[in-house]
Structure 1
Amino acid sequence: MSQSTSDLNYLRFWGVRGSYPAPFGSHLRVGGNTSCVELCADGHVLICDAGSGIIPLGNQLMGQSQIREVLVVLTHYHWDHISGLPFFVPAFVPGWRVNLFGPGNSAEEIEKRISGQMLDPYFPVEVETWMADIRYLEMENNQLRYGPFTIESFNVHHPGSTFGYRIQVRGKTIIYASDNELSFIDKNIENRRAELDNYELQLINAMQEEERIKALEVIQDAHVFIHDAQYTPEDYNKKRGWGHSCYIETVNFAADANIKQLYLFHVDPNYNDSKIELLHRDSIKILHDRQSSMQCHIAREGLTLDLDAL
């Protein structure tokens, strides 16, 4: 890192794929690494998720001398979100401090979940080989403070306990929700529709609307919204309940919340660059038809946003 990291305030995408890495020539304009987003502000580094994208991030951090501490917040413990941790070089270097947080009832539970992938027979070395100062954190009043960052977690619809994060820094609000099925309740209603009478359906529909309103309140007016856009409508219909969203729902949900900039994230590894760019063009058309001023982007590996210019 040739430029002084402490002088920069940015958000950078290091991994944008869902499910598994896709290092294919047809995917390189968008990127093949799995979920990892870096935020750097006032000399502090916050990392969202530790998929394979955290590996090149760790290598870059080793090339600078100002920063020797990071905070990694994990949305959940599926392998595409933690598989880079065993190769995150700063964790193996004395003099570094690596703070870790994710779903769990205690710091001990978080440690157990993170260390599980580095136990025999899954990996040849265990977390005990980490020589950095490793700290597992707990939230107080559903909030973490780290340097200039204020981080709040919220629950999303994905198999197992999964968080999204509302991050506030330098007067900006950034929402990171990598894995979230926006139509999760719709599926449950459809599955049980024949069992319900009209009154029960009205009650459930009212509850559904209430939940949507609450979900919109969490993200309302955010400057940046990084959200699951894994499927086309055709693929989503085959994979309802898997914990991911159709890109169309993501676009409309973000527009309803008056988001400033949406980044389509966690895209399916089976979609090549050309297909994702078609989805992006369709997203722009949806916004045009809605007369929405929201900007919609593809989250691309290496893309860097100036936090102060958001």
Structure 2
Amino acid sequence: MRFDTLNYIRFWGVRGSYPAPFGSHMRVGGNTSCVELRVDNHVLICDGGSGIIPLGHALMTQPEIKEVTIILTHYHWDHISGLPFFIPAFVPGWKVNIYGPGDSKRIIEQRISGQMIDPYFPIEVETWLADIQYLTARNSQLEYGPFKMETFNVHHPGSTFGYRIQVHDKIIVYASDNELSFIDKSIADRKSELEPQELKLIEAMRLEEREKALESVYNAHVFIHDAQYTPEDYAKKRGWGHSCYIDTAHFAIDAHVKQLYLFHVDPNYNDAKIEDLHRATIKLLHERQADTECHIAREGLIIDIDKL
């Protein structure tokens, strides 16, 4: 199979929080968030975690493509820590477009360059020799080549985006960090303080919020979503901005997603544990008689977009 001509999605980094280069983790992978979409020789890169480093090396081995667009969900370190080592950014003749949360190109540039200044890093972005362009969206929409992207806000500390990406007739939704039960937690924490009428109003707001969130994902061919925690770990880390894999599965079913990929998995979970969570998710899908398929987002996994 020639991947220089195939339209595909490839996972280069699938871990959350920090890289986990351990022998017990290599079936799933140890790099942090980075997903490549290649269609019609246009490369769209979702997040710049440590997975973007091997992607950069791979891009340097081919002659056809000299431009990429990187879309960032947010600026937490596990999502941008690979950018200082992304080789195409240092090579004249390349063009690297970068987009992420921020009201202006200048703000996006400041957030990227902040990790590459003394005393945190010895080389600043001024050493990038590629043509670096910081992008802005219009009405939360962005286009690059065949990709039409729409941002939506998710529940994670700080300003964080999810992306609904349309390419040809396919829909791919990427939401790496998102706490689906965030509002449920907020209601539970204040339930004893609220009058019945207030609870009724808040419940209506919760349902409205969920419907709006489902719209961003509805009928996606591929849904790449935060599935960081087990129920036990999520109970300890409510409010941290990540989802229990069970919440992710139910949400995918309700959104009529065709293929769910469990992503941004906890770096403390070894391969066997993640594979157990995958089997439990498949069981849940079967119990709900859902058509949704579930997969582990494994580093190196390639999805043929044309066959979705």
- TM-score, structure 2 length as denominator? 0.99
Within the candidate set 70, 73, 86, 1:88 is matched to 86
Amino acid paired to 2:150 = E
1:263 aligns with 2:261: yes
Within the candidate set 176, 179, 183, 2:177 is matched to 179
- Report what 2:117 is aligned to: 119
- Report what 1:198 is aligned to: 196
Amino acid paired to 1:164 = G
Aligned equivalents of 1:51 and 1:156: distance in 2?
19
Q: Secondary structure at the match of 1:145?
A: strand
1:43 aligns with 2:41: yes
- Report what 1:308 is aligned to: 306
Q: Contact (CA 8 Å) 1:50, 1:81: kept in 2 or not?
A: yes
Aligned equivalents of 2:277 and 2:219: distance in 1?
24
- 1:59-70 residue pairs with structure 2 within 5 A? 59-70=57-68
- Report what 1:56 is aligned to: 54
Q: Secondary structure at the match of 1:302?
A: coil
- Report what 1:78 is aligned to: 76
- Report what 1:135 is aligned to: 133
Aligned equivalents of 1:131 and 1:16: distance in 2?
29
Q: Number of residue pairs matched?
A: 308
1:234 aligns with 2:232: yes
Q: Secondary structure at the match of 2:20?
A: coil
Residues 37-73 of structure 1: CA distance to partner in whole angstroms, max 9, x if unpaired?
A: 0000001000000000000000000000000000000
Aligned equivalents of 1:82 and 1:218: distance in 2?
24
- Give structure 2 stretches of 5+ with no counterpart: none
- Report what 1:189 is aligned to: 187
Q: Secondary structure at the match of 1:37?
A: strand
Q: Secondary structure at the match of 2:56?
A: helix
RMSD over equivalenced CA pairs, Å: 0.9
Residues 164-184 of structure 1: CA distance to partner in whole angstroms, max 9, x if unpaired?
A: 000000210000000000000
Aligned equivalents of 1:15 and 1:301: distance in 2?
6
Q: Secondary structure at the match of 1:213?
A: helix
Q: Contact (CA 8 Å) 1:52, 1:83: kept in 2 or not?
A: yes
CA shift at 1:140, angstroms?
A: 1.4
1:124–1:297 distance in 2 versus 1, CA, 3 Å:
same
CA shift at 1:4, angstroms?
A: 6.5
CA shift at 1:141, angstroms?
A: 2.1
Q: Secondary structure at the match of 1:308?
A: helix
1:4–1:192 distance in 2 versus 1, CA, 3 Å:
closer
Moved more, 247-256 or 188-197: 188-197
1:204–1:97 distance in 2 versus 1, CA, 3 Å:
same
Q: Contact (CA 8 Å) 1:170, 1:308: kept in 2 or not?
A: no
1:53–1:4 distance in 2 versus 1, CA, 3 Å:
closer
Q: Contact (CA 8 Å) 1:4, 1:64: kept in 2 or not?
A: no
- Report what 1:289 is aligned to: 287
- Report what 1:32 is aligned to: 30
- Report what 2:15 is aligned to: 17
- Report what 1:278 is aligned to: 276
Amino acid paired to 1:9 = N
Aligned equivalents of 2:80 and 2:3: distance in 1?
28
- Report what 1:161 is aligned to: 159
Residues 240-277 of structure 1: CA distance to partner in whole angstroms, max 9, x if unpaired?
A: 00000000000010001110000000000000000000
Q: Secondary structure at the match of 1:296?
A: strand
| Identity across the alignment (%) | 73
Q: Secondary structure at the match of 1:40?
A: strand
Amino acid paired to 1:260 = K
Residues 210-253 of structure 1: CA distance to partner in whole angstroms, max 9, x if unpaired?
A: 10011111111110000000000000000000000000000010
Aligned equivalents of 1:147 and 1:181: distance in 2?
31
Aligned equivalents of 1:3 and 1:154: distance in 2?
34
Aligned equivalents of 1:66 and 1:8: distance in 2?
13
Aligned equivalents of 1:177 and 1:62: distance in 2?
28
Q: Contact (CA 8 Å) 1:142, 1:152: kept in 2 or not?
A: yes
